[in-house]
Chain A
Amino acid sequence: MANSFAEFLKREAAKVRARRIGSSTFIEEELRGERRYHLPTDFIDALFLRSEPGEHVVVEKGVLRELRYRLDELENEVRKLRRRNRALEVLLVACAVLLLLSVMR
């Protein structure tokens, strides 16, 4: 290992408070600030974390495939729920008719 690299690592190590309990080493991390600058590929962040997208958004093919899959799944779910909804509507109308007939008797 280069001497100056080893010196840099030693200096960094000297700045850290580490505790050793038994065979375990505990290192205290500092609090990290919120990221101020984002890279251009933050499409998922823009979508799910509602962060502000850049002027151009680059989407990987894989993400696009994933999104298309999720959209298809959601549409299937909507279709299924719509069918169930219609069945319930029919049931409700039938119940209402039966109720009306029973009252009329």
Chain B
Amino acid sequence: MKGLQMYVKKLEEEVRARFVGNDEAVGVLTLNLLHERSTALIRAPRGRGKSTLMLLFLKGIFGDDFVVLSGASEIKRGEVVARLHIPSLEREGVEKVIWSAFVKARGKGLDEVNRLNPYTASNIYHLLQFGEVWAYGQRYVVGDFVLFANENPADPTTFVHPPPFYDRFDVCVRLSSLPLSDKFRLQELIEKHGSLVDSMPQVLDFDTLREIRREVSEVEVDVDLLATVNVLVRDLQACIRDRDGGRIKPPALCEGCHFVHGICSSVREGPSERATLVLHNLLKAKAWLEGKATEDDIYRLASYVLPHRMELVRQDRGPEELARLLRRQRELNEERRARKQWAILESLTRSFNRELYKLAAEIAVEDLIFAEELMKLEGEWVSKGLLKPEETLRSRLMPDAATH
């Protein structure tokens, strides 16, 4: 194994040596560190080790040089963003801004993010969105950083943050409680180390991590894997009745829809484009760290990238509902491959062939995202007189839109 990979593996090992159970969550959090301005959210009920896991990672990278804000305490604007230097203001009338330690720190932690008041949360939202903060008319560019946050959504003092706030977190991991044997292991570890966090060594520094991030950003992901990612996210976003544009959502919106049996009817709010970017980054990281990334990795990682940035019709079923949709998505992709539909689309992009078009139209009535691509091509064929408007798939699936 190459030098830089060793650092990351060592970090993961040291965290695993102190954090019992939830192995997959630790692996995903490690992979997520390997791209710029990484943000991770750890969700769990009380006492599952959310804060411990966050601190273990921060300590492993930054030693003691990181800043954690606690949502449980009353945080003032000066602690989150900046405050004015009072002597300068009083003596010289100059507004000198002192940026907070949290803004300047490369290693950032947010404990109990669900308890942050909306004002503080919006400051952090801006930081995550643009990589900068504003105070008293001045701007501070934050640059590269590592941010870990944790929350207990069942906490009675929870503020309900808007979905776009959670969308800024690259991944969201849930921690499960420990099986019997792991409880024994945890007791042994605590007896051995005393404080698990204090015993965590600093394994790498931020400059090394930046070098790793630079290498990871140069990794090229196979186009087949990229296609699987894009198809997955599009399947969860697409709606022929413009779900995002109206107030009526599935399942009510799906009444009488041709695609009612599609995956789209199980999704109330689809994921944003950030989902594709994050999955792409994680695949790069996986390929860099372990030498390869596979289709299995996409579906495994998707269960950490999607849950906090979309809403399912049966949200009450918890993570199992998303897992079920992902299994269904895999099956859909197998069907797409068997139908050779992408090859048909490729042939149609080169030249119009009526027989092939008929076959493609038959496939499209079963597959919304294929229909979208086919409808894009139809416009050109209609303008060239190769196809009549009333023959198009658009006129069959979207009769109202076709008349405009």
Number of interface residues of B (CB under 8 A): 37
A41-B260 contact, Cβ under 8 Å, with A8-B224, A23-B355, A62-B255: yes
Q: Is the beta-carbon distance between A27 and B338 smaller than 8 angstroms?
A: no
Asked if A25 and B226 make an inter-chain contact with CB atoms under 8 angstroms apart, the answer reads: no
Instruction: Tell me the bound Cα distance from A7 to B220 in angstroms.
Output: 14
Residue-wise, chain B 279-319 has the 8 Å CB interface mask toward A (1 for contact) of: 00000000000000000000000000000000001100000
Question: In the complex the two chains form, is A39's CB within 8 Å of B338's CB?
Answer: no
B321-376, CB < 8 A from A: 324, 327-328, 331, 334-335, 337-340, 342-347, 349, 353, 355-356, 359
Q: Are A24 and B349 in contact (CB under 8 A)?
A: no
Whole-angstrom distance from the CB of A24 to the nearest CB of chain B? 6
Could you say which of A12, A33, A36, A39 contacts B342, with CB atoms under 8 Å apart? A12
Give the residue name and chain of the A residue nearest to B256 (CB).
Answer: A62
Cα distance A8–B314 when bound, in Å? 34
Which of B261, B339, B347, B349 contacts A39, CB < 8 Å?
B261
- Hey, which chain A residues are within 8 Å of B263, CB to CB? 39
Answer whether residue B51 sits at the interface, using C-beta atoms and an 8 A cutoff.
Answer: no
Grouping DSSP codes into helix (H, G, I), strand (E, B) and loop, the A interface class, with mixed when no group exceeds half, is loop
Count of interface residues, chain A, beta-carbon cutoff 8 Å = 37
B224-256 vs A, Cβ < 8 Å mask (1 yes, 0 no): 101100000000000000000000000100111
User: Are B261 and A42 closer than 8 Å at their CB atoms?
Assistant: yes
Stretch of A13-21, A74-82, A87-95 with 4 or more beta carbons under 8 angstroms from chain B: A13-21
Is A56 a contact of B314 with CB atoms below 8 Å?
yes
| Interface residue? A102 (CB, 8 A) | no
Residue contact B343 to A18, C-beta cutoff 8 Å: yes
Q: Which of B251, B327, B343 contacts A41 (CB 8 A)?
A: B251
Task: Please encode chain A, from 1 to 38, with 1 for each CB lying within 8 Å of some chain B CB and 0 for all others.
Answer: 10011111111110110100001110111111101111
- Which chain A residue shows the least CB distance to B356? A25
B266 at the interface (CB under 8 A from A): yes
Chain B interfacial positions (CB closer than 8 Å to A): 223-224, 226-227, 251, 254-256, 260-263, 265-266, 313-314, 324, 327-328, 331, 334-335, 337-340, 342-347, 349, 353, 355-356, 359
